[in-house]
Structure 1
Amino acid sequence: MQRLVKIEMSLFKDILSGISGIFSGSPYRIILSAENKKFYLNAYKGAGAIPFAQLLNKYPQLGDLSVWVNYEKGGTVIPLGNLAYVKKELARLISEEQKNKPEIVIPQEIQQLKPSKMPAGFEIRYSWNDSEKAIQPQLRGEYWGEGTYVSENSYWNMPGFTENDDLWLRKNKIRGQEILEFLRAILPQWQRRSLPVQSEVVLEAEPACTIKINRVRIDSVTCEALWRVNPGSIAEIPSLAGYIIAGSSLGEGFNPAGLPLQTESGQALVEEYIPKTIEKVNEFLLQQHHLGMLDMFQPS
């Protein structure tokens, strides 16, 4: 992100430093810029922006550039994969000896950006962000879409990328039901295709806790809470009801905080806690569609 800010700041400096040149030389200018993870080819006459087509009418020799750009509502976009070709064509125009040729401004940061192979050891690692309550990717560089990554002075395409991957690679936060879809389907599929992705978060097949009812009396219930994870590390996932996260383990369960189910050796629930405990357990069973077990926890 800092690199993009530098590119944009450099662009403004080039615009300001070149204002005097507008009046002393050609009134037409071509400026490359970067904004919102896109490169733009901007055309100007004097201080005002003009459509790229108008520039082509003035300079037919620029016609080859039209092959490498896309015309969008926000301007003339240079796909990242075509950036090297556009810079090469502009460099050729700069080197030509002709009168009244357009001024061409390419910020240094864009000029230095080169295509390369995917760096050795490049990896996208997904982990749980507790403050965001979401799974987030960690990687070197930034994803610019269509399987392309940008880092420092280079950019590259991820080998094996398909169009269906783009939606998930663009996600900076994975929440709600998308968590289950990602861990059950998307991540395993990527790993089968040998994409450079790993996840610290593991979807557990078994619930975090099993509650064993040992004895029921009028004013108390004796039970055992058998935890597969440290109950002190459990946190509920606000966007995914019925699931908890404990360290890197994600699975079905509930947060035991506030319930007297902390021991493994057996805990007697006094009368005031019974309704609260039954309500919590029933809520969990309903969320997981274990309707057949509800009768076990109904007062008689």
Structure 2
Amino acid sequence: MAESAWLAERFEQQRPYLHSVAYRMLGSLSEAEDAVQETWLRLSRADSDEVDNLAAWLTTVVARVCLNTLRTRQRRREEPLDTRVPDPVITPAGPDDPEHSAVLADSVGLALLVVLDTLSPPERLAFVLHDMFGVPFDEIAPMVDRSPATARQLASRARRRVRGQAPPVDTDLVRQRAVVTAFLAAARDGDIEGLVAVLHPDVVLRSDGGATRARHTTVITSAREVAEQATTFGRFSPYARHAVINGGAGVVVMASGRPLSIMAFTVHDGRIAEIDVIADPERLGRFDLSAFAD
């Protein structure tokens, strides 16, 4: 019993790290939690005397669980489009909040998660574990049944795609928020030119509207088209509450205590490069947004 309690305590110490790995692997908060729980179940059934390095053992197990989930997702083709809006990590913490630095330290932008979704499962595993968590390739190789050299190549291919597709991000949250505030004001006023001015020419808008759109993710890739779309949102801008979403500026739109949408913004060089929107009522219901209620 004492050994079981000791093992459970050690696992709980590793839980935040394991969840971070799983979230980056899967882009889904619920699937990440399931992967971490499955890892605990496997540990509870394992012979602890054969586990020399618990942290490495847990990393291997959670990575393999996530790899299987990605492969199953790929086979089932669960998403109707190649692009989806990943689950966001939302907090009302502001730039002066002491918790904010911790949020940024453990954040990964939605724009990057979207690119990670385009990788093959082995590429994603190699990139996430090596580039984000510093796991050596000789430890990654057995997870994907490849040699260390091949694991290195997988991460290299993934890295090139990430660099080519994920926009650089401004790190000053105050500046990000100022750009988002200007966007909301222009949307409220129906100011097309004002909106175009704060949007990158190649801005990408992804929006998951849920069942009303057959669960498809709408993608718009032109500043003027995004501006025109934003004006239809303008009447809701008074209900937008600033939030930190995956370490960056975002808003939660609430009316009469009911969430209408979550919007995450990727800001680069003082302009909005990407907007990720979740307006699907089913998905919105999975998040605890009580901090943003009236």
State the TM-score, normalized to the length of structure 1. Answer: 0.24
Greater Rg by CA: 1
- Where is the helix percentage greater, Structure 1 or Structure 2? 2
Q: Could you say which structure has the greater relative contact order, defined with CA pairs below 8 angstroms and 6 or more residues apart?
A: 2
TM-score computed with the length of structure 2 as normaliser: 0.24
